[in-house]
Structure 1
Amino acid sequence: MDSFASSIVKNILEKVGSYAYEQIVSAWGLEEEIRKLKNTLEEIQAVLSDAEDRQGRNDEQGKLIKIWLQRFKDVLHDVKDLFDDLEIQDRKIMMANHGAAMNKVRGFFSSSNSIAFCFKMSQRISNIWERLDEIKTSKDRFKLSKTPKKEIGMNKSRETHSYVDAHSVIGRDEDVEKIIRSLLHDNSNNVVFIVSIVGLGESDVKNMTKEILKSTKAGLLSYDDSNFQKLQGELRKALEGKKFLLVLDDVWNDNPKVWEELNQLLIGRSGSKILVTTRSKKVASSMKSHLEYDLGCLSHDDCLSLFLRWASIEGQEERHKTLVQIGNEIVKKCKGNPLAAKTLGSLLSLTTDEKDWLFIKDNEIWELKQEDDDIMPVLRLSYNQMPPYLKSCYAYCAVFPKDFRFNSVDLIQLWLANGLISPHKNCEVEYIGMQYLKELFSRCFFEDVEEFVFVYTFKMHDLMHDLALSVAQNELLAVDSGTDSVSESVRHLSLLNSNLFQQKLKHSTQKKLRRTLRTILCPLAVLGSICESDVGNFVMGCKYLWVLDLSSSSFEELPSSIGQLRHLRYFSLSGNPRIRRLPTSICKLQKLQALGLVGCKKLERLPQGIRNMISLRFLEFTTNEEFLPNGEIGCLEYSLQVLSISGCQSLKFLFYDMEQLTALRTLSITDCHQLRRLPCSVNDLTSLENFLISNCAELDLEAKDKDAKSNQGHEKLLSSLRSITITKMITFKALPQWVQRSANSLPSLIIEDCPNFEKLPDWLKTFKSLQKLQIIGCPKFKPSEA
């Protein structure tokens, strides 16, 4: 992936230029080797932008440049691995000599082991430099330019929202009327009348049943997801004798058997309707739709109106007459496709420079041969104008399946694990990642954006997913039933069900594949049906993994050899219903930045030694411990940014040394029914920005455990707090006094589903920064008293 090359080389050069890394290099006596390596990387970096543009050309030189870029990316990964090894070895030495005199440390560096390691590193660097030097020399024959291309709007972003105003929908009034008439028409001969809308806008029966049941009143109750027969029975019961309208949006499953099975469940009163939207006529046919409605393209005038609205010049046409004229020519080339108009409009909303608009109008990509309904060149054009840091973050998302619902917290951690977020002075990388995400929102690369307190959820349009796959080339693969084989060039791999592992990877002996893989995701997997040793053996052979997501797997235990995956930065077992203990060797993963263990309901305790995971920034977990020990999580003072404690049914006490977490920005405590008090050390979390408490039945937010430091911190102002969210708290009646200490900073206060909450305190009127006050589902609360 070309965009990955730019991100990785930037990440490497930033690391090499840091003071901390200069100290490591100096300690090993590798200054000269690293200097040569750095200079060569900088020289190649200067022409990367031109190379990335020209590799897409359909000529001989374009193909050669693509091969040249692939060789460069291979070397970059080896450089990153080498730097990891240097850091890990340096930390190992420092930990081994913790508290030792300086002469002893120096003695360790002069030991035979260290000399051997240093010699080995020197050889690796020399080998890498020779390969880089050859790549640098070979680039000359391509005559690549060092002049950076202009990227439109990279310094400006725009806030977005998920609300759609019906009046803002352009050019579909007649379509809407026809569809509504068909839905209101009495079709007494058909118990359930199906209308399919086909336009440019995959589930199995179990998942669809679950989602449909959720939308009914009965769905407000909780059911055992594993008991499909019970889910079916509850859905039949919920729909029995009722007249319903069911809307299924963006459907892709075209298996007639699936719809036949679902139809057996959807038996309601005569006059019930199902409205389906899809981009595939095959789907509409497989569902045996009674009415198939083809939306078709927008008229030119409607398409122009849509374009101008997203370009942010609607209502300013007189002021920007030349831009409107250029826009009119651009819209002609969109051929009535609303997604094309919206995407290019959002791109140009970031600039009013006529040269930028003319660049889009006259771009050579319009000259490529394309079908009348081919939108890909338009989307590629929008992609090409993005800065490299956005390209790589966007393209990585294609490792997930179509229609996958992302959440911002997890995705940003994955970007971070892959080195796709560049640090900025005085800004945490998580904040920078959120800015990347908002910029992608503004450019329409994601849709269905919803905000939940400090988390966004969203989807990627299927055409945007296709684009991401195309720009990712052969480095990224989502393995499904149609996948014939897994290429050795794949670096980021996702498996979408358990059988695929057995079919595609169990017998894999491709040594290079195991070395090149950086990501293994099983986002929808339940791997319990496979021999765990097969999975373990394959994964443990991938020594250079950065990301391992085994969410919803059914392992009872992990091999102790997981500690050998020392390059691992992201690891998740969230949703595993069987695992009881984690091997202590997992605490050897010094590079690990994110650890997900939420929903591991049988996990007896966190591994002892978690304090040694000195890079950990994100930790979420469920355990059966009654108390969390001191001297573990509390020791992650300089790294931990997000701490989420969820579903710990036996938990009575949190760790008392919480005040040491000076970098903690998000604290979430949910579904811990035995927890009665928070430690007083919570008062000392002066970097805390987001505080969420939910469904902790016994928790008294006013009370504090009388720990050893109970007299400290009470008078501190919580000046960093950005949001306080309190939901599903039965005992909660009034805001605790400690909230008053954030009077000068707090913008958001949300209280939901707290049946005994009665009133707001008078001191809330002094909150100068409060912008959002939301109180929902609190029957005893009287607004007049606010």
Structure 2
Amino acid sequence: MPWINTLTCMIAAALEKEHDLLWTVVGGALLTAFLDVVFHKLASPHIVNLLRGKKVDKLFQKVKNKLIVVRAVLDDAEKRQITDSNVKEWLDILKDVVYEVDDLLDEVSTNAATQKEVSKSFPRLFNLKKMVNVNKLKDIVDRLDDILEQTKNLNLKQIQEEKEEPCKAQPTSLEDGFPIHGRDKDKEAIIKLLLEDSGELLLEYTSVGEHCNSHDKVSVVAIVGMGGVGKTTLARSVYNDSDLRHTFDLKAWFYLSENFDIKKVTKTMIEQVTKKSCELDDLNALQLDLMDKLKDKKFFFVLDDVWINDYDNWCSLTKPFLSGITGSKILVTSRNRNVADVVPFHTVKVHSLGKLSHEDCWLVFANHSFPHLKSGENRITLEKIGREIVKKCNGLPLAAQSLGGMLRRKHAIRDWNNILESDIWELPENQCKIIPALRISYYYLPPHLKRCFVYCSLYPKNYEFKKIDLILLWMAEDLLKQPRIGKTLEEVGFEYFDYLVSTSFFQHSGSGTWGNDFVMHDLMHDLATSLGGKFYSVSKEVGLETKIDVKTRHLSFSKFSDPVSDKFEVFRKGKFVRTFLPINFELCPFNNEKAGSTIISKLTYLRVLSFCDFKGLDALPDSIGDLIHLRYLNLSGTSIGTLPESVCNLYNLQTLKLNNCILLTKLPVGIQNLVNLRHLDINPTYIE
């Protein structure tokens, strides 16, 4: 669609002109962004004016104050939940309460907005008590009291300083002695880029303002790829290659992380270059000393695991590099493509590192898992199982290495089969390093992007999704920050999506037209699923026997195995479900006459409701208008011939999809009452 292409170009241009504050705030707990949404609603003018002077206002104020206290310990809780099941359970209980607070506020806000005109003309008809479930609010206050008490028992602490990086072994320039498979061409290409002083640029980025000629002396090569793909291993091999040994006067390796301290990094650089301890402690003195050490030198530096996507930080870090001579090189490894865009040098060449072939991945696995095992029947069997395990690694050498190392001393066929047949993400983290590797990428996402990423666990593995489709769902679920003046929610969603692509959380599928289709790597999907926990449920079949947790808020599925019935466990335990989303829906027998009314009457908190491809669904009940929280309604591919007028009562509805509803010929008379409707898809239909 032309408007989408235009919008994308506008966003790209805007991002080049300014560094949006959206990306300068990193880290933070998943629940932090959710609480911000709740606080935003509590501070909204019509809520404040509605509650002012009322008794119920004191209860809401208590809720707010308790949530503020809880918010302070969320960062500590998010880190500790990985190893402490009690903390994880505490977070789940808290999240469940926050969902209920959000639902209650949404209900009050919606009722206030829709009854505003009524209250002006008939003030006596406006009854706040009927709009607020006071007993439920009191129950929430009591539950928050219990949650706060547990913070003491769990010894949760407020983290005021900069985030400590999750426990991770710092990579060094030393090789581990294992051969590198499948990277010969990548290594050859990078060495070629490092040895040339000029040539055709793969990418050239000129920042705001004119650079002096000093910026032409140093050029940068960036290895960019998803976590676990082997960027550091490749950089290490290049760093130690004999072809580069006599090319540069100075050579050094530096490991950077998200919470890097420019003074500490500069001091480390001096110590690496001089091979002596540095006693200086002032940044200016340190930079002058490093500049002196690099003067008239041709140097080669590796900056490993770089997350700096702020131009000013890059400039501050690299000022001393300008004293080097022409031909000096910096090799950067990063998961974030945006890092290369803000490097303050004229010449930046980007090498995207892809996944290994299955055979090369197998060789990585075999090097770590079969070092001492002699040939024989047992080894033949283990190799067969091992090759199936490697398929799960999906081309990521880090996954192959981690699993291979874990199985290195396990020679029993039973042990290998257990790995093959189980979810590897349930393994203890001290045995399988791939989870920490991916968690680091997730950990440093801004909190609002964490929610968006976890939401994608509703998609099945290898599902190809479109950017705009996902953004509309994010918008309906209130996962997008309210935009600044002059920017739309859709533009915010595009920025979120593009950032997740640039950091390898999403990847182009390669099979879609014009690059519009995206997928999540299986390992990323597993990470999202583990983070979603009880609140997200993905079922292949929904039926009488389908189990669902009482905390579940988001549900996706591909088929019904039984006629829709009010005896479904989904309706009994999942009454607070917000998302009812068929994906790759398979047409199965179900009671079409009662299906819609049963689902709508039982799931009254829905924000996303899709009956897409329910071929036998030919009508919606009038009760659809009672879903006051609903933002997204998808009836595409159904047999619906008319829409009930009650659809026009859906004050919050943002998206109405009627694609391929070939029997639909008209819209309800009161469609103009949908004041928040942003997207109406009626192509192809025969609407007059």
TM-score by length of 1: 0.50
Separation in 2, partners of 1:128, 1:549: 30
Where does residue 93 of structure 1 map in the other structure?
A: 115
8 Å Cα contact 2:96-2:551 kept in structure 1: no
1:54 positional shift: 0.8
Separation in 2, partners of 1:561, 1:105: 26
8 Å Cα contact 1:477-1:492 kept in structure 2: yes
Separation in 2, partners of 1:575, 1:131: 44
Where does residue 302 of structure 1 map in the other structure?
A: 234
Counterpart selection for 1:406 from 445, 451, 465: 465
8 Å Cα contact 1:343-1:443 kept in structure 2: no
1:81 positional shift: 1.6
Where does residue 254 of structure 2 map in the other structure?
A: 322
Where does residue 23 of structure 1 map in the other structure?
A: 49
Counterpart selection for 1:46 from 65, 68, 72: 72
> Is residue 429 of structure 1 aligned with residue 489 of structure 2?
yes
Separation in 1, partners of 2:447, 2:578: 20
Separation in 2, partners of 1:318, 1:506: 73
Counterpart selection for 2:99 from 77, 85, 104: 77
Separation in 1, partners of 2:458, 2:112: 33
Where does residue 346 of structure 2 map in the other structure?
A: none
1:373 positional shift: 7.9
8 Å Cα contact 2:454-2:528 kept in structure 1: yes
Separation in 1, partners of 2:624, 2:48: 30
Where does residue 476 of structure 2 map in the other structure?
A: 417
Where does residue 604 of structure 2 map in the other structure?
A: 543
- State the SS of the aligned residue for 1:321: strand
Written as runs of structure 1 = structure 2, the 5 A alignment for 1:321-470 is 321-323=253-255, 345-347=334-336, 350=339, 375-426=434-485, 427-448=487-508, 456-470=516-530
Structure 2: which amino acid aligns with 1:64? N
1:402 positional shift: 1.3
Where does residue 598 of structure 1 map in the other structure?
A: 659
Q: State the Cα deviation string for residues 213-236 of structure 1 (Å, max 9, x = none).
A: xxxxxxxxxxxxxxxxxxxxxxxx
Separation in 1, partners of 2:66, 2:336: 34
- State the SS of the aligned residue for 1:473: helix
Separation in 2, partners of 1:435, 1:299: 26
Structure 2: which amino acid aligns with 1:302? L
Written as runs of structure 1 = structure 2, the 5 A alignment for 1:748-759 is none
Separation in 2, partners of 1:306, 1:457: 34
1:317 positional shift: 12
Where does residue 473 of structure 1 map in the other structure?
A: 533
1:534 positional shift: 3.7
Q: State the Cα deviation string for residues 424-467 of structure 1 (Å, max 9, x = none).
A: 43132222221111111111011116899999431111121111
8 Å Cα contact 2:473-2:608 kept in structure 1: yes
1:346 positional shift: 0.9
Q: State the Cα deviation string for residues 35-90 of structure 1 (Å, max 9, x = none).
A: 22211111111111111111111xxxx22211211111121111112112212322
8 Å Cα contact 1:170-1:302 kept in structure 2: no
8 Å Cα contact 1:407-1:455 kept in structure 2: no
8 Å Cα contact 2:611-2:635 kept in structure 1: yes
- State the SS of the aligned residue for 2:183: coil
1:411 positional shift: 0.9
Where does residue 126 of structure 1 map in the other structure?
A: 138
8 Å Cα contact 1:596-1:619 kept in structure 2: yes
> Is residue 565 of structure 1 aligned with residue 627 of structure 2?
yes
1:490 positional shift: 2.2
Separation in 2, partners of 1:470, 1:43: 27
Compare relative contact order (CA 8 Å, sep 6+) and give the higher one, 1 or 2: 2
Q: 1:300 to 1:430 in 2, by over 3 A?
A: closer
> Is residue 108 of structure 1 aligned with residue 97 of structure 2?
no
Separation in 1, partners of 2:107, 2:451: 24
Separation in 1, partners of 2:63, 2:249: 53
1:124 positional shift: 3.0
Separation in 2, partners of 1:39, 1:82: 17
Q: When the two structures are aligned, how many residues end up with a matched partner? A: 447
8 Å Cα contact 1:547-1:571 kept in structure 2: yes
Q: 1:301 to 1:125 in 2, by over 3 A?
A: closer
> Is residue 12 of structure 1 aligned with residue 38 of structure 2?
yes
Moved more, 528-537 or 67-76: 528-537
8 Å Cα contact 1:54-1:65 kept in structure 2: yes
Where does residue 637 of structure 2 map in the other structure?
A: 575
Separation in 1, partners of 2:239, 2:502: 14
Q: 1:299 to 1:82 in 2, by over 3 A?
A: closer
Separation in 2, partners of 1:123, 1:650: 46
Where does residue 492 of structure 1 map in the other structure?
A: 554
8 Å Cα contact 1:409-1:455 kept in structure 2: no
Q: State the Cα deviation string for residues 507-556 of structure 1 (Å, max 9, x = none).
A: 42466523221111102214463212145413420111111122122211
8 Å Cα contact 1:395-1:469 kept in structure 2: yes
Separation in 2, partners of 1:647, 1:141: 59
Structure 2: which amino acid aligns with 1:72? L
RMSD: 4.3
Where does residue 66 of structure 1 map in the other structure?
A: 88
8 Å Cα contact 2:651-2:675 kept in structure 1: yes
Structure 1: which amino acid aligns with 2:684? G
1:601 positional shift: 1.6
Separation in 2, partners of 1:48, 1:489: 19
Structure 2: which amino acid aligns with 1:22? V
Bigger helix share: 2
Separation in 2, partners of 1:411, 1:531: 30
Where does residue 141 of structure 1 map in the other structure?
A: 153
Counterpart selection for 1:613 from 674, 678, 683: 674
1:3 positional shift: 5.8
Structure 1: which amino acid aligns with 2:472? Q
Structure 1: which amino acid aligns with 2:334? G
Q: 1:93 to 1:299 in 2, by over 3 A?
A: closer
- State the SS of the aligned residue for 1:90: helix
Where does residue 130 of structure 2 map in the other structure?
A: 117
- State the SS of the aligned residue for 2:653: coil
TM-score by length of 2: 0.57
Q: 1:548 to 1:305 in 2, by over 3 A?
A: farther
Structure 2: which amino acid aligns with 1:470? S
Q: State the Cα deviation string for residues 581-607 of structure 1 (Å, max 9, x = none).
A: 111111111122221112212112112
Q: 1:34 to 1:608 in 2, by over 3 A?
A: same
Q: 1:149 to 1:400 in 2, by over 3 A?
A: farther
Identical residues among aligned pairs (%): 27
8 Å Cα contact 1:574-1:600 kept in structure 2: yes
8 Å Cα contact 2:628-2:652 kept in structure 1: yes
Q: State the Cα deviation string for residues 631-677 of structure 1 (Å, max 9, x = none).
A: xxxxxxxxxxxxxxx224575xxxxxxxxxxxxxxxxxxxxxxxxxx
- State the SS of the aligned residue for 1:495: strand
Structure 2: which amino acid aligns with 1:429? L
Q: 1:616 to 1:322 in 2, by over 3 A?
A: same
Q: 1:649 to 1:606 in 2, by over 3 A?
A: closer
Q: 1:115 to 1:556 in 2, by over 3 A?
A: closer
